[in-house]
Chains A and B, each alone.
Chain A
Amino acid sequence: MQNKTAILLIGSPKPFKSSSENIGKLLLGYLAKEGFATDIEHIGMAIREGAVDKVIHKVNNSDITIISTPLFVDSIPAPLISFLELYQNDKQKTNKKLIGIVNSGFPESFQNDTAIEVLRLFSIHNDFYWAGGFTIGCGGAFGSMDLHKSKMVKHIAESFQEAAICLSKGDTILKEVLEKASKPIMSTFIYVFFGQLGWYLQSIKYHNQFNLKARPYAK
């Protein structure tokens, strides 16, 4: 019997080491353990290289499509919207599932809900079966770190593992499994404190630590 297939579409404009790629690969890895043949595509690169049709063909031939993307201004980034605008369902394969993973730099995972809703509405309009959306906050805390070794994201790894088992059985992802991944990675106070410190430290590299409040367009 032919293996079931899963493709990960990365919506981050960063070509390497993005949080979206890192977190998406975590779920894809668990699907591979469940026997899925897996593939990865970067949407930004596909658009730049004129390979959108190739990616659409792959999506249309996959049993599961995972879209992992950062939150950009309360929605998905523009290149990913371009891809969704260009997408054509060839309707040859039925019962295709779509999963969304949205991560953001806000500590509250619910701030990603609007972006997940865009992905859900895309799936409904294009005859995918919406298998569920993961909303993950504190994206700045895990970045490109090894998620298998991190205790901080243990609950996300467990959630993805349980999701992969659901999907391998042909089921949708349980609500409690989705909710487990949305739990805070750390306290809001600690995340905000280290976040603020991080911006200062980064600005020192450019000698801008006293210029962070600049208002170049003020009249």
Chain B
Amino acid sequence: MKVLVLNGLNPNQPESNRFKDIVNSSFGLNSSGFEMVDLHTKKIHKCRGCFDCWVRTPGECFVKDDSQHICNLIINCNLLVFLTPIVYGGYSSYLKIMLDRIIPLISPFFVKYKGEIHHKPRYNKYPALLGLGIQSYASSDEVKSFKQIIYRNSLNLHSPFFHAETFMNTDDEASVKNTMIDIILRMEDLNYAE
């Protein structure tokens, strides 16, 4: 199973390295083809909202930076993992600046999907989606919002499966690791291995 982790943790927050290490060790030991992209080290411009990726250079953003390589990794993995602090119930700006650039992966044309209007898939298959959100303060509303965004992303990305898990930044390593290994085993049971 090819796993791609988009690490949107804030490098200036003290717990970021700890969670990055836990994810690295949990996935690294349990998945062949594991890759983590530290988004804060990449050159990614903000999306201009021009839609050139749909009509001018179909399937690819007109602005050249690291986002093209990351889009390529996304569409060719089996499991896409968003690792992020929960920011007001959503993603960090480190993660979101990349996610705003993934629209070339879908078509501009509309289709009715699960009773709603969404964009048609551009590719034959899309990765399953896993959201890992880290809270610095407890808020059930923010957890609910984070999980809802992962669900909505899974619809728009045509993901065959999605799951969202949240942690407190004070959670101990062993419990976080156990939860992650449980998730990985569940994902593998769903037979996403190539």
Cα distance A195–B71 in the bound complex, in angstroms: 25
User: Which one of B47, B145, B148 contacts A77 once the chains associate, using CB atoms below 8 Å?
Assistant: B47
- Whether A199 and B76, one on each chain, are in contact in the complex, defined by CB atoms closer than 8 angstroms, is no
| Interchain CA distance A179-B156 in the complex, whole Å | 24
**Docked CA distance A218–B125 (Å):** 10
Q: Of A81, A212, A217, A219, which is in contact with the most chain B CB atoms at under 10 Å from its CB?
A: A217
CB 8 Å contact bits of A58-84 with B (1 = contact, 0 = none): 000000000000101111111101101
Residues of B within 8 A of A195 (CB): 110
Contact between A81 and B58 (Cβ–Cβ < 8 Å)?
no
Please tell me if A150 contacts chain B, counting CB pairs below 8 Å.
no
Contact with B along A81-113 (1 / 0, CB 8 A): 110110000000000000000000011100100
Cβ A13 vs Cβ B56 within 8 A: no
Interface residues of B in 44-90 (CB under 8 A from A): 46-49, 51, 54-56, 58-60, 71-72, 75-76, 87-90
Interface pair B145/A118, CB less than 8 Å apart: yes
Q: Verify A203–B58 contact, CB threshold 8 A.
A: yes
Q: Assess whether A121 is in contact with B141, with CB atoms less than 8 Å apart.
A: yes
Do A121 and B59 have beta carbons less than 8 Å apart? Answer: no
CB distance from A51 to the nearest CB of B (A): 16
The answer on a CB contact under 8 Å between B145 and A111 is: no
Interface string of B120-139 (1 = CB under 8 A from A): 00111000000000000001
* Complex contact B96–A75 (CB within 8 A): yes
The total of interchain contacts (Cβ-Cβ below 8 angstroms) comes to 141
Tell me the smallest distance from the CB of B118 to a CB of chain A, in Å.
8
Q: Judge whether B90 and A118 touch: CB under 8 Å.
A: yes
Q: Is residue A192 within 8 Å, beta carbon to beta carbon, of the partner chain?
A: yes
A117 with B55: CB separation less than 8 A: no
By secondary structure, the B interface counts as mixed
Is there contact, CB below 8 Å, between B117 and A108? yes
B152 touches A215 (CB 8 A): no
A212's partner among B75, B90, B107 (CB-CB below 8 A) is B107
Q: Is B183 an interface residue (CB 8 A)?
A: no
| Contact assessment for A199 and B54 in the assembled complex, using a CB-CB cutoff below 8 Å | yes
Cβ–Cβ contact A78 & B87, under 8 A: no
The docked-state distance in angstroms from the alpha carbon of A121 to that of B73 is 32
Query: B49 touching A108 by the CB < 8 A rule?
Result: no
Q: Which residues of B contact A213 (CB under 8 A)?
A: 58, 107, 122
CB-defined interface of B133-162 with A at 8 Å, one 1/0 digit per residue? 000000101100100110011001000000
What separation, in Å, do the CA atoms of A180 and B149 have in the docked complex?
Answer: 25
Give the residues in chain A near B76, CB-CB below 8 Å. 217, 219
Q: In whole angstroms, how far apart are the Cα atoms of A14 and B47 in the complex?
A: 9
Q: Which of B91-107 contact A (CB under 8 A)?
A: 91-93, 96-97, 99-100, 102-103, 105, 107
Cα(A156)–Cα(B189), bound, Å: 49
Say whether, besides A111-B116, A117-B148, A188-B117, A85 and B139 are in contact (CB < 8 Å). no
Smallest Cβ distance from A18 to chain B, in angstroms? 8
Q: Establish whether residues A199 and B109, one from each chain, have CB atoms under 8 Å apart when the complex forms.
A: yes
Which one of B46, B48, B102, B145 lies within 8 Å of A121 (CB-CB)?
Answer: B145
Interface residues of B (CB under 8 A from A): 46-49, 51, 54-56, 58-60, 71-72, 75-76, 87-93, 96-97, 99-100, 102-103, 105, 107-110, 116-118, 122-124, 139, 141-142, 145, 148-149, 152-153, 156
Closest 4 CB pairs of A and B: A78-B97, A74-B152, A78-B96, A82-B93
Which residues of A line the B interface, CB within 8 A? Answer: 12-14, 18, 44, 70, 72-79, 81-82, 84-85, 106-108, 111, 114, 117-119, 121-122, 124-125, 188, 192, 195-196, 199, 202-203, 205-206, 208, 211-219
